[in-house]
A = this chain, B = another copy of it.
Amino acid sequence: MSRKSEQREIILKTVKSTDIHPDADWIYQQVKKEIPDISLGTVYRNLKLLAGKGNIRQLDIDNGPSHFDGRTDLHHHLKCIKCGRIMDIDYSLKSEDIERIGKENDFSVTEYSFVFYGICSRCIK
């Protein structure tokens, strides 16, 4: 199965160490400081593997590159339309609401992902 590699460990540590929801290239730049000859392909391969195992989450908000989230518990996101910053939000629906939404639409809901757009506190000033 999945062996251990220094590359993967440092990639995981890097994603977990920040809440800025970085993209692959940012992670690549960070990891390069510790492993100068790591390749971007390795970063992509490991991000995919880690997301598949549930160690990190992949966020696809709008177009552009995917972002990665070290938090894997149920939460959602705010995105500032001015600066592009993505922030965590601890909002969730009541399970009875989820159930009702499923029933009303003849759909079995297993997950949900909310994105709120607007202006963040830094940009509003």
The B-contacting residues of A in range 68-125, CB under 8 angstroms, are 78, 80-81, 87, 89, 91, 98, 101-102, 105-121, 124
When distances are taken between beta carbons in the complex, the residues of chain B under 8 Å from A17 are none
How many residues of A are in contact with the other chain, CB < 8 A? 33
Which of B105, B113, B119 touches A108 (beta carbons < 8 Å)? B119
Does A2 make an interface contact (CB < 8 A)?
Answer: no
When distances are taken between beta carbons in the complex, the residues of chain B under 8 Å from A120 are 106-107
Does A6 make an interface contact (CB < 8 A)?
Answer: no
Chain A residues at the B interface, C-beta cutoff of 8 Å: 58, 60-63, 66, 78, 80-81, 87, 89, 91, 98, 101-102, 105-121, 124
